[in-house]
Copies of this chain bind each other. A is one copy, B any other.
Amino acid sequence: MPTPVKPSRQPRRGLGRATLADVAAQAGVTSITVSRYLREPERVAPATRAVIARALQATGYVPNKQAGALASAGSGASRMVAALIPSIANSIFAETVQGLADGLQGSGCELMLASSGYSIEREEAQLRALLGWFPSAIIVTGRHHTAASLDLLAQAQQRGTPVIEIWDHHRDAHGFTQIGFDHAEVGAAMAAHLIARGYDSLAYVDSGVAEDFRAHERGEGFLATARRARVRARRLVAPQPGEAIEAGRLALPLLLEAKTGKPAFAAAAFANDRLACGALLEARARRLAIPGQLALLGFGDFALGRQLEPALSTVEVPRLEIGQAAARALRAALEHGAPLSDQRLPWALIARQSS
């Protein structure tokens, strides 16, 4: 007689938290009924509902989401949104993350965040790690990624996981949804602005961060426009690393003639406002007339630039909106299966006093 296995091994329950089965036992039903109550209460008889509600209270039940996600791996998913951004401390991305977090609030989705430090290699590693959680959606910054990352993202998308690239919007995309704007276009507008004001020799002071691709693209747009208008223009690179305002201070000498200390350009555009502010402060310290001797133009519209004297001309960008729009699009996709579509968000060149 083949006696069944002896149930001898020691059980390995989770950390003492109430499970569905515990609640069910307390309520005198089976676990599936409690599960149903939690997800579609209308399908449970009112009387049963009341009993379950009480048992839920009594046990202090907290659903185990790993188990839930695992069990419904086929249909739904984890309800986790993975977001990969270059830097959290950079206020530009911090606001985007804020918009994303706020927009996801109440959707039942959690936000998993990773910060790559502007390294696409690190981004790849983080992407691999986050993919292990089966995120319901993936948000990456920009359209520059390692080949392997692109593969992973494409696979995820093929399996139905929404993939959104934020902060960029460009023809040459990889087939992912883009929510952002065209940086080359912004760069072009920056050059056009300075040219229209009559500045006849320009510099673009690029970020010293090697993988700040969007800053580089703005630079390319800037230089292309200057070239087309037959205006002299050069690309310079701010020193790195270090605090960006300080980097801007140190970048100013690049714009001056070594011997005389006089500006070698009529106007300079910067990869971001922090650099521009640093340069502006240093220029003031050296008693250069801004914009008389040297006009300055930033990017990002940081609080600091508005308060300096002269106030910094800059480009206002939809930092918060990018996050909000991504959250909105994801919710529509996750909740109603709405298709994702590219969104080109508006930006604006704000001419203040420095140009």
Digitize A70-94: 1 where CB-to-B-CB distance is under 8 Å, 0 elsewhere. Answer: 1001110110100000011101001
> Would A159 and B15 be within 8 Å (CB), given that A102-B115, A304-B304 are in contact?
yes
Digitize A93-105: 1 where CB-to-B-CB distance is under 8 Å, 0 elsewhere. Answer: 0110110011001
Check if A113 sits within 8 Å of B134, measured CB to CB: no
How distant is the Cα of A89 from the Cα of B304 in the complex, in angstroms?
Answer: 15
How distant is the Cα of A110 from the Cα of B114 in the complex, in angstroms?
Answer: 8
> Would A128 and B62 be within 8 Å (CB), given that A16-B159, A95-B89, A281-B307 are in contact?
yes
> Which residues of the other chain, B, contact A304 by a CB distance below 8 angstroms?
303-304, 307
Answer whether residue A133 sits at the interface, using C-beta atoms and an 8 A cutoff: yes
Answer whether residue A132 sits at the interface, using C-beta atoms and an 8 A cutoff: yes
How distant is the Cα of A64 from the Cα of B14 in the complex, in angstroms?
Answer: 18
Answer whether residue A228 sits at the interface, using C-beta atoms and an 8 A cutoff: no
Answer whether residue A260 sits at the interface, using C-beta atoms and an 8 A cutoff: no
Identify which of B17, B65, B75, B115 contacts A159 (C-beta below 8 A): B17
Answer whether residue A131 sits at the interface, using C-beta atoms and an 8 A cutoff: yes
Answer whether residue A50 sits at the interface, using C-beta atoms and an 8 A cutoff: no
Copies of this chain present in the complex amount to: 2
Residue of B nearest to A90 (CB): B94
How distant is the Cα of A13 from the Cα of B122 in the complex, in angstroms?
Answer: 31
Give the contact-size bracket for chain A.
Answer: 35 or more
> Would A132 and B97 be within 8 Å (CB), given that A111-B113, A304-B307 are in contact?
no
Check if A14 sits within 8 Å of B74, measured CB to CB: yes
Answer whether residue A198 sits at the interface, using C-beta atoms and an 8 A cutoff: no
How distant is the Cα of A68 from the Cα of B70 in the complex, in angstroms?
Answer: 10
Answer whether residue A245 sits at the interface, using C-beta atoms and an 8 A cutoff: yes
> Which residues of the other chain, B, contact A245 by a CB distance below 8 angstroms?
303, 307
Identify which of B98, B133, B277 contacts A66 (C-beta below 8 A): B133
Check if A65 sits within 8 Å of B111, measured CB to CB: no
Check if B87 sits within 8 Å of A115, measured CB to CB: no
Residue of B nearest to A78 (CB): B66
Answer whether residue A308 sits at the interface, using C-beta atoms and an 8 A cutoff: yes
Check if A65 sits within 8 Å of B132, measured CB to CB: yes
Identify which of B16, B60, B64, B91 contacts A89 (C-beta below 8 A): B91
> Which residues of the other chain, B, contact A63 by a CB distance below 8 angstroms?
132
How distant is the Cα of A80 from the Cα of B82 in the complex, in angstroms?
Answer: 13
Check if B62 sits within 8 Å of A66, measured CB to CB: no
Chain A residues with a Cβ under 8 A of chain B: 12-17, 60, 62-70, 73-75, 77-78, 80, 87-89, 91, 94-95, 97-98, 101-102, 105, 108, 110-115, 117, 122, 128-134, 155, 159-161, 243, 245, 274, 277, 281, 303-304, 307-308, 320
Across the A-B interface, give the 5 residue pairs with the lowest CB-CB distance, nearest first.
Answer: A14-B73, A94-B94, A89-B98, A65-B132, A12-B74
Give me 11 other A-B pairs in contact (C-beta within 8 A), A15-B161, A110-B130 excluded: A12-B73, A13-B74, A66-B69, A66-B73, A88-B101, A89-B320, A91-B91, A101-B114, A243-B303, A245-B303, A281-B307
